[in-house]
Amino acid sequence: MSEEQIDLFDMPPDEQEWEKEWNGMPEYYNKRIQPFKTIFVHFRTEEDYREFAEIIDQKMTLQTKSIWHPELMKGINGKYRWVNEDES
């Protein structure tokens, strides 16, 4: 037996406990990084592929499907956290 999932914003007013918890929270906008241009590059040999990786100075394996150039720094903001100083 499956129950229909209730949308968070369509819940009855007495069940909207989330409003108390989220009240006063800062706005957050997730900046979506979109490429300016995407191209496909074809290589005749594995040696050509490895030479290209060396030229652009990026680690690439035969499983690599895509890259950013210059290399995208993942986790650059990973050290930041939201902390409630009222709680210990």
Residue 15 lies in a domain: no
Give residue for tokens 């903001």: 77
- Report pLDDT digits (tens) over 17-73: 767 777 788 887 777 878 999 999 999 999 999 999 999 999 999 999 999 898 877
Residue 78 included in any domain: no
Tally the residues of the chain: 88
Question: Within a domain: residue 49?
Answer: yes
Instruction: For residue 1, tell me if it sits in a domain.
Output: no
Prediction pTM value = 0.49
Q: Number of structural domains, the chain?
A: 1
Residue 3, domain member (yes or no) = no
The range of the structural domain enclosing residue 45 comes to 37-61+68-73
DSSP symbols for 7-75: PGGGS-GGG-THHHHHTTPPP--------S-------SSHHHHHHHHHHTT----TT-----SSPP-TT
Give the three-class secondary structure for 5.
Answer: coil
